[in-house]
Amino acid sequence: MNKHIPEDVIEEIRTRCDIVDLINSYVPLKKAGASWQTCCPFHQEKSPSFKVNPERQIYHCFGCGKGGNVFSFVMEMESVDFPEAARILARKLGVIIPETEQKSSFSSSSSGSIVSRDRLYLIHEKISDFFHRSLFENPSSAVSEYFKTRDIPKDVASQFGIGAAPDSWDAGMRWALSQGFSTAELLDAGLIVERQNSEGYYDRFRNRLMFPICNEQGHVVAFSGRTVEKDFEGGKYVNSPETAIFKKSSILYALHLAKQPIQKKGFAILCEGQLDVIAMHRAGHENTVAPQGTAFTIEQASKIKRFANTLYIAFDSDSAGKKAALRSIDIVIPLGFDVKIVSFPSGKDPDELLRLQGPEAIENAVNSAEGFFDFIFREASSNNDVSTAEGKGRAVEEILSYLTKIQSTVTRSSYITQLAGLLKISESAVFKEMKRLSSNASRYSDRMSFAPTRENAAFSVNVEADNAVGKAEELLLALSLCHGTVGKYLENELPHEMISQTSAGRALEKVIQFTINGEWEFAEKAILDEMNSNPDPAITAILSRHHEYDKEFQEKAMRDCVKAIKINYLKKHIEKIKSTLSAASTPDDKKALLAEFQQCSKDLMNISKA
């Protein structure tokens, strides 16, 4: 059974939480008339298209289309479901949640079972404790002996929850089953694997040093296990598969510990793995995180951006590490980060450097971090012979692939001046090359865009017609929410069957019904209430705008929109009658259909002329 949050508590959270304050705690908002705006935290953009409407307590991005309320914003930013988002907001606001038992928040996955997210969190919490105890209760085990060589203090191991998976095929499974968990739950949690050639299951993690992976709220959602065997033939690390509570591309290792230090210090440090992060934290850099089981992603970068505008990339100095650093630079520059590169001496990683030379060596490396431009220039120069004209051309092209993504024109121009000086070429030549590359990219984009063909021409016409109706319904919804007289007009002019069952169409019908019942002023709240746990971007796009329509525009827009909807409906109905005529079973049926066809054609002609 899952914990259910009563509706009155949900309403209390919604009314007490100001959406401007909430979003401003994640990304800086700027006042724009009666609303607020910023660059969208959910996708890359250079100019702000993310709008926040304080009156209606909603947001909408007119770039990527995402929109919603305080609950959906937390769901997106924290990668959690609705109940967890409500709990996060409740903790911020000091709202007490008297939870009751109800079947909700369930997920179905590979086992074919249905397991609640709360059970998945509980399984991970309990098995994490089991692994942690196993590390210290079995000091002679291979994992414990290996752990001693890492020189990690016990209090640090406890802080990060480091543990040991026993050297057994099913010790973890047997313990979990004894605690009341089922094999279906363990499968959905990714902790056990089904045997391929015989019946039964076995532990995914065996004889490994275990690192719990936590989400931003500190809940264990997955594990990463490092082998302790010297000549092990399999992978050095085994990671949990993705589950209902674990998405690799959105998780940053140790972010739950690092987010406050990141805010305090004003920058984040990005390392490659768990042991490196732990070493950095031990050396006093608690503002360090790492990607989890995948390459660094824009989703992870956006999470860091909520806490700081400066990022130090501290990857290994080998070829793979440099490539990873360049990929990361490519991701974070468009987000407006100030990027620096940390290089560790003698090719050592933070974990090795800490053990051999102490925290001072790490401190020196961080303090000596270089700007990203110096890094990419050095890499481009080493890859190309910049003493030749051809080599300079290739180097410039490589470097411009990064510089063109910088949002600030001034910053970009400053780097181009530096680049021209270092390569002893004119600035104008570099600017021309940048323009050429941008033009090529634009032409490529044009070639890849959709172009209607003879085969899909009819489809395109239908899409355009449906789009026109959709736009008409959206405008009528906006008008009907702003003016209480619109619903009355639509009641008489727009039959129920002509309104679509799209989200805008259903919302429009709701406003009309509230208007008919004399409750027009409550229509907007009813629509917003429906979006508590499942906001519709099509609706938030309408509600997020501040509409002010004069009487002349209002009357003309109503007539034009109703006309477009009626014409589209009649055209489709006429086509439906045509297809039905040939199947008419009796002369009377055929006669009735012909009469209906003639009437619809007449109505269509009259409306079109009007």
Give pLDDT, residue 546: 55
Angle at 422 between CA 417 and CA 423, to 5 degrees: 100
Which residues 6+ apart lie within 8 Å of 236 measured at CB?
226, 227
CB atoms within 10 A of CB 534: 11
Which residues fall within 8 angstroms of residue 546, CB to CB, at 6 or more apart? 33, 34, 35, 53, 55
The residues facing 270 across adjacent strands are 289, 313
- Say if residue 521 is exposed, middle or buried (CB neighbours under 10 Å; 0-12, 13-18, 19+): exposed
Joined tokens for residue 77: 């930013």
Domain boundaries, the chain: 2-102, 107-246, 252-368, 376-447, 458-609
DSSP 272: S
pTM of the model: 0.61
Distances (CA, A) of 583 to 244, 274, 305, 578, 580: 49, 69, 63, 10, 5
H or E element: which one contains 51? strand 50-53
| Cα separation of the two ends of the chain | 60
Contact 79, 292 (CB under 8 A): no
Q: Specify the fold of 2-102.
A: DNA Primase; Chain A (3.90.580)
pLDDT in the model for residue 42: 86
Q: How many CA atoms lie within 13 A of 350 on its CB side?
A: 30
The three-state secondary structure class of 421 is helix
- For residue 473, the one-letter residue type is E
**pLDDT tens digits, 237-278:** 899 998 888 888 889 999 999 999 998 999 999 998 899 999
Q: What is the per-residue pLDDT for 44?
A: 76
CATH class of the 252-368 domain in this structure: alpha beta
376-447: CATH topology: Pheromone ER-1 (1.20.50)
- The C-alpha angle 575, 580, 586, rounded to 5 degrees, equals 145
Q: Which pLDDT score, from 0 to 100, does residue 445 have?
A: 35
Q: How far apart are CA 89 and CA 337, in angstroms?
A: 28
Q: By C-alpha distance, which of 239, 241, 249, 245 is closest to 219?
A: 245
Element (H, E) at 132: helix 117-137
Residue 573: phi and psi, rounded to 5, are -70, -40
- CATH code at 107-246: 3.90.980.10
- The confidence score (pLDDT) of residue 135 equals 95
Token pair for residue 262? 């990141």
Contact (Cβ atoms closer than 8 angstroms) between residue 544 and residue 51: yes
Tens of pLDDT, residue by residue over 547-573, are 556 677 788 888 888 998 989 888 888
Q: What are phi and psi of 489, to 5 degrees?
A: -60, -45
User: With a cut of 70, which residues of the chain have pLDDT below it?
Assistant: 1-3, 99-115, 233-234, 293-294, 438-467, 532-534, 545-550
* DSSP-derived pairing of the beta strands 35-38 and 50-53: antiparallel
CA distance 287 to 267: 7
Whether the Cβ atoms of residue 297 and residue 305 lie closer than 8 Å to each other: no
Q: Are 226 and 278 in contact (CB under 8 A)?
A: no
Neighbours of 33 (CB within 10 A): 8
